[in-house]
Amino acid sequence: MKTIIGLGNPGKEYENTRHNAGRMAVGFLAQKNDLPEFVFDKKSNSLISKNKKVLLALPETFMNKSGFSAGKLYKTKKENKDLVVIHDDLDLPLGKIKISYGKNSGGHKGVESIMRALKTKNFYRIRIGVISSKNKPADILKFIIGKFKPVEEKEFKKVLKKTTEALEVFVNDSPERAMSEFN
């Protein structure tokens, strides 16, 4: 079974924010594939949806503590070929995704938390670009927890579809094919 974790922050105030790109991507995947409704799992402090092929998780911790949920959901192995973590990325332009395996966190606090909890960086990541210009904003925190502008929303909806297609290939075929087709 593949485990797919969508990073973000819980709560209404964070819905549709850039920092919740991973969480929104997992929700979109569940909706598009008619997966069971998300149910709260007390042990992992996550919302969970699963079928025979995949377990989707939305940590109910805040981003920087995502490792708690990941550590409860996914047992540490040297090679985590069945784990995918999806998150926002300020180094990628809006509309782009990048699939990687075994890379450093790139400064992403949620990914760092998962790496600490699992004691490895060997898992797949799908980074979703959330910045619409080449210049990073002066106030990164305000930008990242800000909502997409109407023009950005249209582009973000396209990237949600692309991310879902990549995940479907990942689950139904192979991670290598997903990387070759969508990177």
Give the whole-angstrom CA distance, residue 71 versus residue 95.
30
Decide if 105 contacts 121 (C-beta within 8 A).
yes
19 catalytically annotated: yes
Residue appearing with tokens 């990242």: 144
Q: Which residues contact 42 (CB under 8 A, 6 or more apart)?
A: none
Give the whole-angstrom CA distance, residue 61 versus residue 86.
15
Angle at 13 between CA 44 and CA 132, to 5 degrees: 100
Question: Of 2, 18, 19, 87, which one is the catalytic site residue?
Answer: 19
Q: Just list the catalytic residues.
A: 19
